[in-house]
Structure 1
Amino acid sequence: MFGKRKVPPVPAFAVPVSNGLVVDSNHIAIDLVATVVDFVNYLFAHGLYRSEELPLHLMQLYHADFYVTQVNNGGHSQFIHNCGARAQTIFINAQAGLSAMGAIHQADLIRELAVWAAANPDKASAQTGFAGGRDRMLDRLDTLFAEVQANDPATRRAAAWIRTWPDVRFTEPAELRAAWNQSALTNPKRSHRLSKARVKAFQQTLSDSVHLAIGLAADEADETLFEGRSAETIGLEGRHLDVWIVQTSYGLRGAACDSNGVRLFALNLRGGGVTWTAVSLIGSAVSSDVDRMLSFVKREPVAAAADLLLSRAKPAITDCIIQPCNWADGIPNPIFKLSVGDEMFMMTKGKTGYVLAGQKPGEIYDTVSFAEVATHERSVRDN
């Protein structure tokens, strides 16, 4: 016999919103719905939840708001285009949410849209939201939607529905972010998903010789690499030079790469245009240093060590950039900067494992042993 399909367990956490959103008014209704939508986005981005793991009413509200916002902005054609491969799931959730909040007419319109899309898959996939990519039937739905919204806006009903949820928690604005963090961290699969994604990203970054070269050049200039990179042409001594534009702790820089290594320049906009001009050479890295760094990261589990240290020291961190640094006197192995927003950490390989230090004097975290790193690397790779 076939058993019932298992449904992923739904976490039992509150939906924290500011207590200033208790009042029933049009202005407050918009802010309340936007706050709940932002909360769901926060759960996706920082809690690494998947939609099927969240309470159903949250996803129904989320997709109902997506429907209303998209149609208000660019019509049903834009909405169906931006739904992509998840269109049918979004249709079902949005219709259920609109029905639950009492926006019956809007629910009828999306039901009609779902029937049309199922019967006309080629036409549905051809929608762009722009002239030449809009079906007349959807333009008709746009007209009906505008009439319904003018008489009975869905947002007001959505806010009233939210206030009936048993899991809504009105809290002080100053405590809201901490409450959101707590909800994000309740995901039992978060740690593994974060490690898997972060280790993969670190490995890709550290296998990129251009990134290694730019990182070493930035370190020579005593700068921290934040993000990049985009191709651009700069002016240098009366000639044009192709560079990578990167963001460091001191601003935008131009990195000129060739077979000899990389030269990092400070940049200024030339006039009021979009062409950059090099002001001065602030750092460089020779190809031998890059090759030496590349050899080290190929034989050492740097990515897994960095992720394991961060997951223990700063479990709430999601986004992080890893930057190689030049060898320092008295330290046999290279140092790596790990930057997260305004925070920066330093990691290196020690005698018994990998060590992480913060910016504050004496801020040293527990060493992770080589055996722990190897186990962590296998766990991330095999699961």
Structure 2
Amino acid sequence: MLKALLNKAKTAFESKSESPKPIAAQPKYQQHLDLIVVPESAMDAFPDDPNPLVDAMVNYVNFLTQQAQFNRFEISAEAIQAYHVDYYLAQVKNGGHAQFVGNSGANLAYTLADVIDGLKAMKAFDHLALAEKMSKWVAENPEDADAQTGAEGGIAPELAALDNPFYELEKAHPLRPIMAEWIANLEVLQAVDDRMMPRVLQGIKTLNPNLRTRQSKTHIAKLVNQLSNPLFLGLGMAGAKAAKIEPLLQVGTGSNRNVDGQNTMTWFVQTTEGKRFGLSTETGVELREYVDPNGETLPVSLKDTSLDHITSFVPVEVGNVVNSVTHAEIDATKAVCAKLNAPIAIEMLLAKLPEDTEADYVSVRSTGQSLEDQLGASIYVVCNQGSVAYSAIVEESGARLLTEPSHDLLVQVSAVEISEFIEGLQAA
């Protein structure tokens, strides 16, 4: 069955030669995947419970676009319509039509078109009427549309006026059962034994001829951000240059905290040594201790704690400086990494490993001239959710990947290979 299904997917992908709908500025492509795969358990739950089937569709589109790296024009029009209709539903229920408009950002035109086409196909005409009013307002007020957030000061009254009718409509005729009914009757829908789903999805993933190139572009973009954003680059440098090296694993959300008596924006940071705080100062970037006076965090559920525990709980504090780097050091390191094409070199090195490996975070240890008088950078690379780490030595002549901590050579690439790879990315 698996082979037959993948052959069906391959045939569907190769047989379509034009866009599912004529949108201006839509890129032309030669292949299209007209297949939607959901687990049998989702179909079995329908119609008593519509949620598993809608969730399965959302998960399928997420897999295709995020892991299999298909773009929105290369997958079933019905799938992307259902996905965006559910996105519309979730956004409006959470923060109104203004939030939907604001959070859609640069994709608003395409997302709105999918929502309207999907609601038409589902015959959800009451919901459609509200979506069309929103679409009309967006078309007539492009500058105001850019200012929408769904929060105070970012809610247009015309959009707010659509919210209560939407909520009342949801009480009387919820959208998800309508969506599930439509999905269940799609000709391109294929239910698969739940146990087979991982293999089927991986098989579909291999059908994308642009998979490796697109994965590389995504990985490189993340590495470029880490090696150019002053905060991210600085925090990585501070950890890698600390007395006891502690490369970064994650930079989390920011929040205002008391730092040396001043209300200061801080970021939660995870290094190989544990939790830290990061902050940007007038002189540079600091990595600071994460001090928890309680020795533990407050339980997530109130039923698991006591009133005494809550009232005696003391918030975590920003402690002493672990290490810091100056803005001048960050700027100089940024320039070296850019000149050496370090993000691209690291992606090429990891791609040469026998197993799938993706960098979580990179931390620059040092930059400067090597013994061979080459400009170079030594970069600590943490991969696969912190499960493995390497050192990347990137120089003008090329780059090599070393094991940690033994520094045995694993793979290498030459400057010529890096240049050819860049030309290939630009042409793709």
TM band (smaller chain): 0.7 to 0.9
Which position in structure 1 is the counterpart of 2:237?
213
Match of 1:340 in 2: 384
User: Would the aligned equivalents of 1:345 and 1:358 in 2 still touch at CA under 8 Å?
Assistant: yes
Match of 2:131 among 103, 110, 118: 110
Q: For residues 336 and 349 of structure 2, what CA distance do their matches in structure 1 show?
A: 19
Aligned residue number for residue 420 of structure 2? 375
- Give the 3 Å change call, closer, same or farther, for CA 138–360 of structure 1 in structure 2: same
Q: Does 1:323 align with 2:363?
A: yes
> CA shift at 1:257, angstroms?
9.0
TM-score for both structures, normalised by structure 1: 0.73
How much does 1:250 deviate? 3.1
Amino acid at match of 1:75: G
RMSD of the alignment, in Å? 4.7
SS at match of 1:28: coil
Whichever residue aligns with residue 237 of structure 2, its letter is A
**Structure 1 pair 163–246 and aligned structure 2 pair: CA distance change class (3 A):** same
Distance 1:377 1:21 in 2: 43
Alignment-mate amino acid for residue 59 of structure 2: D
Residue 95 in structure 1 maps to residue 139 in structure 2: no
Structure 1 pair 353/38, CA: closer, same or farther in 2 (3 Å)? same
Q: 1:85 to 1:355 in 2, by over 3 A?
A: closer
1:19 aligns to what? 40
Aligned to 1:277: 319
Distance 1:44 1:342 in 2: 24
Instruction: Pick the aligned partner of 2:208 from 178, 187, 192.
Output: 187
Tell me: CA distance 1:206–1:163, structure 2 relative to 1, closer, same or farther (3 Å): same
Could you say which residue in structure 2 is the equivalent of 1:305?
345
Q: CA deviation at 1:308?
A: 1.0
Contact residue 217 and residue 262 of structure 1 kept, 8 A: no
Superposed CA offset, 1:276-334 (max 9, x none)? 224x96x789999999977974664433221112234378656632223479xxx9984
* Deviation per residue, 1:325-372 (Å, 9 max, x gap): 479xxx998463242313324244499964445679999755434432
Q: What's the secondary structure of 1:51's corresponding residue? A: coil
Alignment partner, residue 249 of structure 1:
272
- Cα 1:223/1:126, change in 2 over 3 Å: closer
Contact 1:10/1:54 (<8 A) preserved = no
- In structure 2, C-alpha distance between the alignment counterparts of 1:68 and 1:298, rounded to whole Å: 42
Where 1:109 maps in the other structure, the secondary structure is helix
Change in 2 beyond 3 A, CA 1:168/1:213? same
Deviations 1:221-268 (A, max 9, x none): 2534112376877778x9999987531133212568999999865431
Q: Give the letter for the 1:91 counterpart.
A: L
The size of the alignment, in residue pairs, is 373
Q: Which amino acid aligns with 1:375?
A: E
CA distance in 2, matches of 1:118, 1:348: 49
CA distance in 2, matches of 1:69, 1:295: 43
Distance in 2 of aligned mates of 1:337 and 1:91: 40
Letter in 2 for 1:113: M
User: What amino acid maps onto 1:343 in structure 2?
Assistant: S
What is the CA-CA distance between 1:113 and the residue it aligns to? 3.2
CA distance, structure 2, for counterparts of residue 197 and residue 64 of structure 1: 26
The aligned amino acid for 2:250 is: E
**1:354 and 1:367 in contact (8 A); partners too:** yes
Please tell me whether the aligned partners of residues 14 and 183 of structure 1 are also in contact (alpha carbons under 8 angstroms).
Answer: no
Aligned in 2, Cα 1:362/1:133: closer, same or farther, shift over 3 Å?
A: closer
1:181, 1:316 within 8 Å by CA — same for their partners in 2?
no
Query: Once the 2 structures are TM-superposed, how far is the Cα of residue 214 of structure 1 from its aligned partner?
Result: 1.7
CA positional deviation for 1:11: 3.4
Question: Corresponding residue for 2:251?
Answer: 228
**Residue 186 (structure 2) aligns with:** 165
* 1:158 partner letter: M
Q: 2:357 touches 2:383 (CA, 8 Å); kept in 1?
A: no
| 1:267 is aligned to 2:290 | yes
Counterpart secondary structure, 2:315: coil
> Displacement of 1:23 after TM fit?
1.9
Matched with 1:68 is 89
Q: Deviations over 1:168-195 (max 9, x none)?
A: 3433445544544444454333433333
Amino acid of the structure 1 residue aligned with 2:319? T
Shift of 1:42: 3.3
Code of the residue aligned with 1:92 in structure 2: it is: A
Q: Structure 1 counterpart of 2:212, which letter? A: S
Code of the residue aligned with 2:56 in structure 1: it is T
2:91 and 2:255 map into 1 onto residues whose CA distance is 33
Deviation of 1:57 after TM superposition, in Å, equals 1.0
Unaligned runs of 5+ in 2: 1-21, 295-313
Runs of 5+ unmatched residues, structure 1: none
Q: Look up the SS of the partner of 2:269 in the other structure.
A: strand
Q: Highest relative contact order (Cα 8 Å, sep 6+), 1 or 2?
A: 1
Distance 1:275 1:28, change over 3 A: same
Given the two structures, how large is their TM-score scaled by the length of structure 2?
0.67
**Quick check: 1:46–1:318 contact (8 Å CA) kept in 2?**
no
- Could you say what secondary structure the match of 1:313 adopts? coil
8 Å CA contact 1:11–1:187 kept in 2: the answer is no
CA distance in 2, matches of 1:162, 1:123: 34
For residue 267 of structure 1, give the secondary structure of its aligned residue in structure 2: strand
Q: Secondary structure at the match of 1:202?
A: helix
Amino acid at match of 1:53: E
User: What are the equivalent positions in structure 2 for 1:30-179 lying under 5 Å apart?
Assistant: 30-119=51-140, 121=142, 127-130=148-151, 134=155, 138=159, 141-179=162-200
